[in-house]
């Protein structure tokens, strides 16, 4: 019988913290993550493993050199078939007569991690917690288990979080997980300033990669410089060793006061080339970094929003971002928004500026990479209470109320190559619809036809330019939220008459049926519903009947809320998340 031994080494000390900083809590959110995709063995093999039947190998795991824990029984063929390292080790042992007293060492493989590895080898999947992420990466690489390494890469989005991104990025680089390393860098570019004291543990090569990354998001370059200064002080790195940090800072984007009062004195203290570094940087054309990166939910305009400032909810770090650079060109409500080709478009709505003309309404677009607004796109349809969606490389505006004609709209406007065209009309004409896309199809729910709220559900094929009737919702909804997630359509909130809904319905495209899922915590009308990173997010809305009617003949609602909540389809639960910066309803929302 083969006997393997494993010795767990002590971990390296953490880097010093800045005065007053709280210690990192990498293991604070110890959530389970499912690692799956391995080739499962027959059920009887897993059962034999559970009862140690015909297990010809005992793996002894030594903690600090002590064999105090019982050995783990398993099948040598399973280990040899999946682990390149163990296959070679067992082959060598077999040549010597398969000496039962032979010991091989698997340094730093922890017992709980190895048990999870065995679960994966026998069943094709395992569930690991945040506290095991780092050791699992090491073990998969050390044992050379290709199927496990691939499965970890697939699950990398679920593994990454503010608590884990720094350590996992470091480990991914060490052990050759390229996809995980790239995903960690992408996430770090959008949440650098939320890392707190964890940032001080970031390796030099990672911080250099961040500072030089065009995607790095920052409210100002002064904030980037301050972060670098804190890291250098905590890690006691000389500028000669970390020269790349300084070279990639965009000094030309800083204020003259900050350059003179802060940057120049610091450079003089740390290098004799400070003047040359500044001269070289200031003679280059440098642009400000984007204020917000990928994975953000943009929340713009709306009723009860007192300013043109918008907010961005970062789904990766669960933080709401606001700032002086997050400002829309105009104030609007009942507009639509969608992201297409790395630009965010805002179309239609009630605009508080110079107003819209009969020939169309200005379309404002935000360059996500730079945070700059333009209105170079041809004027779009002048409608309010619309729904907009990006699908098959074009932007579609659906339904709404045409203020100049004072009528409900049936035609669908399409923006492609900076040109607006009209495609097949939607019947009946209506406003207040919700829409979402899957593939080449746009799914449209509910709305108001001028007399009644509707339960209608239709699909528009963008390639064939035709509408298809689908099973209606169980009850009518107007001014609802609609989103697509995992091949399903979700319809949330809205109203019918004076009743405002918290209920949510899910439509399965495979079974072509609706079903009710968990209700939202808050009943909402004029809400926005979006999908991001495997979850649904509901923002804002109104909660009670108001007085009178709005601009398009619909009921007016009151008690606008700034609350937001998230739905997890795995647990069928809604949980409250960070409030928006201000109460908003009938706003435009899009996911970048």
User: Looking at 152, 184, 216, which one is the last position of a domain?
Assistant: 184
Residue 240 has pLDDT above 90, yes or no: no
The answer, as to whether pTM is greater than 0.75, is no
Residues 277, 300, single domain; the answer is no
Distance CA 323, CA 453 (A): 38
- Residue 197 counted as domain residue: no
Mean pLDDT score, 477-499: 95
Which range, 59-63, 378-382, 473-477, has the best average confidence (pLDDT)?
A: 473-477
Q: What is the pLDDT of residue 294?
A: 60
**Residues sharing a CB contact under 8 Å with residue 346, sequence separation 6 or more, in sequence order:** 300, 301, 328, 332, 335, 336, 337, 363, 364, 365, 366, 588
Q: Decide which of 200 and 219 is more confident.
A: 200
Q: Are residues 271 and 418 in the same domain?
A: no
SS3 of 414, please? Answer: strand
198 in a domain, yes or no?
Answer: no
Higher local confidence (pLDDT), 522 or 163: 522
> What is the domain-level CATH number for residue 243?
1.25.40.420
The pairing of beta strand 2-8 with beta strand 57-63: parallel
Residue-level pLDDT at 81 = 87
* pLDDT in the model for residue 576: 96
Residue 289 located in a structural domain: no
Is-cis flag, bond preceding 448, omega within 30? no
Residue 281, H or E segment: helix 274-282
What CATH number is associated with residue 38?
3.30.710.10
pLDDT band at 273 (very low <50, low <70, confident <90, very high): low
Tokens of 32: 């389970």
Both 163 and 231 in one domain: the answer is no
Distance CA 81, CA 75 (A): 10
The first and second tokens of residue 126, run together, are 């395992």
What is the rounded CA–CA span in Å between residue 215 and residue 164? 20
pLDDT greater than 90 at residue 410: no
In a domain, 37, yes or no: yes
Number of domains forming the structure of the chain: 3
- Judgement on whether residues 315 and 278 belong to the same structural domain of the protein: no
Asked if the structure places residue 191 within a domain, the reply is no
* Residue 24 banded pLDDT, cuts 50, 70, 90: very low
Mean pLDDT score of the chain:
82
Task: Examine residue 255 and state whether it is found in any structural domain, yes or no.
Answer: yes
Domain that holds residue 215: 204-282
Residue 56 inside a domain? The answer is yes
Same domain, 232 and 348: no
Both 385 and 523 in one domain: the answer is yes
Q: In this predicted structure, which of 135-144, 481-490, 493-502 has the lowest mean pLDDT? A: 135-144
Euclidean distance between CA atoms 82 and 137, whole angstroms:
16
The verdict on 119 and 224 lying in the same domain is no
Q: Are strands 573-577 and 588-591 parallel, antiparallel or unpaired?
A: unpaired
Q: Final residue of a domain: which of 247, 282, 317?
A: 282
Structure tokens, 9: 């080494």
Cα 314 from Cα 298, distance rounded (Å): 9
196 or 568, which is more confident?
Answer: 568
Average of per-residue pLDDT across 571-582: 93
Asked whether residue 92 falls in the same domain as residue 209, the answer is no
Q: Give the separation between CA 38 and CA 183, rounded to whole angstroms.
A: 21
Asked if the structure places residue 75 within a domain, the reply is yes
Mutual angle of helices 146-154 and 178-191, in 10-degree steps: 20
Judge whether residue 275 has pLDDT over 80: no
Which carries the bigger pLDDT value, residue 57 or residue 305?
57
- 118 with 241, same domain: the answer is no
DSSP characters for 282-326? HTS---PPPSS-TTEEEEE--BT--SSB-EEEETTTTEEE--TT-
Residues 224 and 315 in one domain: no
Q: Does one domain contain both 276 and 302?
A: no
Given 221, 249, 282, the domain boundary residue is 282
Is the domain of 274 the same as that of 304? Answer: no
């Amino acid at each position: 019988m083969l006997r393997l031994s494993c010795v767990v080494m002590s971990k390296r000390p953490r880097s010093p913290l800045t005065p007053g900083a709280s210690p990192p809590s990498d293991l604070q959110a110890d959530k389970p993550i499912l690692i799956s995709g391995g080739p499962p063995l027959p059920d009887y093999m897993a059962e034999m493993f559970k009862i140690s039947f015909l297990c010809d190998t005992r793996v002894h795991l030594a903690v600090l050199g002590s064999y105090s824990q019982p050995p783990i029984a398993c099948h040598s063929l399973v280990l040899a078939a999946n682990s390149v390292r163990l296959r070679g080790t067992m082959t060598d042992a077999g040549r010597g007569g398969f000496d039962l007293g032979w010991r091989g060492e698997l340094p730093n493989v922890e017992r709980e991690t190895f048990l999870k590895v065995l679960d994966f080898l026998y069943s094709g999947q395992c569930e690991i917690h945040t506290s095991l992420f780092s050791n699992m990466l090491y073990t998969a690489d050390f044992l050379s288990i290709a199927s496990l390494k691939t499965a970890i890469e697939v699950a990398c989005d679920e593994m990454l979080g503010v608590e884990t991104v720094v350590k996992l990025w470091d480990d991914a680089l060490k052990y050759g997980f390229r996809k995980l390393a790239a995903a960690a860098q992408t996430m770090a570019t959008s949440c650098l300033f939320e890392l707190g004291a964890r940032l001080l543990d970031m390796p030099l090569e990672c911080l250099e990669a961040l500072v030089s990354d065009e995607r790095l998001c920052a409210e100002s370059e002064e904030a980037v410089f301050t972060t670098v200064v804190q890291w250098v002080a905590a890690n006691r790195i000389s500028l000669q060793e970390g020269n790349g940090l300084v070279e990639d800072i965009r000094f030309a984007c800083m204020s003259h006061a900050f350059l003179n009062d802060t940057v120049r004195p610091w450079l003089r203290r740390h290098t004799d080339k400070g003047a040359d570094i500044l001269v070289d940087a200031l003679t280059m054309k440098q642009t400000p970094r984007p204020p917000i990166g990928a994975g953000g939910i943009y929340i713009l305009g709306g009723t009860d929003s007192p300013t043109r400032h918008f907010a961005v909810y970062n789904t990766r770090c669960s933080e709401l971002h606001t700032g002086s650079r997050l400002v829309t060109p105009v104030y609007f409500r009942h507009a639509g928004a969608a992201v297409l080709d790395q630009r965010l478009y805002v179309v239609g709505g009630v605009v508080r500026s110079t107003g819209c003309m009969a020939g169309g309404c200005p379309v404002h677009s935000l360059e996500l990479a730079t945070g700059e607004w333009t209105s170079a796109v041809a004027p779009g349809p002048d409608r309010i209470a619309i729904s907009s969606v990006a699908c098959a490389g074009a932007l579609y505006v659906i339904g709404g109320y045409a203020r100049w004609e004072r009528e409900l709209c049936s035609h669908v406007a399409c923006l492609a190559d900076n040109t607006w065209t009209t495609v097949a009309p939607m019947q009946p004409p209506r406003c207040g619809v919700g829409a979402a896309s899957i593939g080449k199809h746009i799914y449209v729910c509910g709305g108001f036809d001028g007399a009644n709220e509707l339960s209608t559900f239709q699909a528009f094929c963008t390639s064939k330019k035709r509408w298809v009737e689908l099973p209606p919702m169980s009850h009518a909804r107007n001014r609802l939220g609609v989103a697509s997630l995992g091949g399903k359509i979700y319809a949330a909130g809205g109203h019918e008459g004076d009743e405002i809904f918290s209920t949510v319905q899910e439509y399965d495209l495979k079974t072509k049926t609706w079903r009710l899922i968990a209700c939202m915590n808050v009943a909402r009308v004029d809400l926005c519903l979006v999908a991001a990173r495997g979850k649904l997010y509901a923002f804002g809305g109104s909660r009670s009947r108001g007085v009178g009617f709005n601009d398009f003949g619909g009921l007016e609602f009151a008690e606008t809320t700034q609350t937001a909540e998230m739905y997890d389809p795995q647990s069928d639960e809604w949980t409250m998340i960070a409030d928006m910066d201000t109460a908003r309803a009938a706003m435009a929302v899009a996911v970048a």
